[in-house]
A and B are shown apart, each in its own frame.
Chain A
Amino acid sequence: MTTASAILLVGHPNVGKSVLFHRLTGAYVNVSNYPGTTVEVTRAAARFDVSASLLDTPGVLALPARSDDERATMQALLNESSRCLVQVGDAKNLRRTLTLTALLAELGVPMVLALNMHDEATARGVTVDTDELAKELAMPVITTVATGGEGISPLTHAISQARVPETLLLYDEEFERHIATVAAAITEHCPHPQIAARGLAILFLGGDSVVEDWLRHAAGERYPLLDQLCRAARETTEGDLPGLLARERTEAADALSAAVIQRAVRSSPLLSQRLGQYVVHPVWGVPILLGVLYAVYQFVGVFGASVLVGLMEKDLFEGILNPAFTDFVTSVVTVPWLSELLVGQYGLWTMGMTYALALILPIVTTFFFAFGVLEDSGYLPRLTVIANRLFSLIGLNGRAVLPMVLGLGCVTMATLTTRILHSPRERLITIFLLALAIPCSAQLGVVLGMLGGVSFAAVVIWALAMVGILLLSGFLAAKLIPGRRIPLVTELPPMRLPIIANVLKKTGGRLKWYLIEVIPLFLLGTFIMYVLDKSGALPAIIEAGEPLVSGWLGLPKEASAAFVMGFLRRDFGATGLFAMAHSLSPIQAVVGMITITLFIPCFASLMMMVKEQGAKTALAMLGMIVPFAFLIGGLFNIVLRAVWS
Chain B
Amino acid sequence: MSPTHEARIPLAFIPPGTEVRLAALGEEIDALQREQLTAYGLAENRPIKVLQQRPMTVILADEVELALEHAVARHIWVNKDEDRA
Contacts and interface: CB of A to CB of B under 8 A. Distances in A.
- Is A bound to B? yes
Given A282-B55, A388-B55, A246 B65 contact: no
A492 B66 contact: yes
B43 A492 contact: no
Contact of B62 (A93, A386, A488, A492): A93
A99 B39 contact: yes
Interface of B: 30-41, 43, 46, 51-52, 54-56, 58, 62-69, 71-72
21 contacts: A61-B39, A62-B35, A66-B35, A93-B64, A95-B41, A95-B62, A96-B39, A96-B62, A124-B63, A254-B43, A273-B65, A276-B65, A385-B58, A386-B55, A486-B33, A488-B67, A488-B69, A489-B68, A489-B72, A492-B67, A493-B65
Contacts of A276: 65
Majority secondary structure, B binding face: mixed
Nearest to A250: B43
A492 B58 CA distance: 9
Contacts of A92: 62-63
Interface string A386-420: 10110000000100000000000000000000000
A430 interface: no
Contacts of A247: 38, 43
Chain A contact patch, size range: 35 or more
A136 B59 CA distance: 31
Given A96-B62, A492-B65, A243 B34 contact: yes
A241 B54 CA distance: 35
B58 to A, nearest CB: 6
Contacts of B62: 92-93, 95-96
Contacts of A281: 52
A161 interface: no
A491 B38 contact: no
A381 B66 CA distance: 10
B38 A62 contact: yes
A360 interface: no
Max chain B C-beta neighbours (<10 A), residue from A90, A381, A486: A486
Nearest to B53: A282
Given A62-B36, A385-B55, 4 more contacts: A282-B52, A385-B56, A488-B69, A489-B36
B63 to A, nearest CB: 4
A285 B67 CA distance: 14
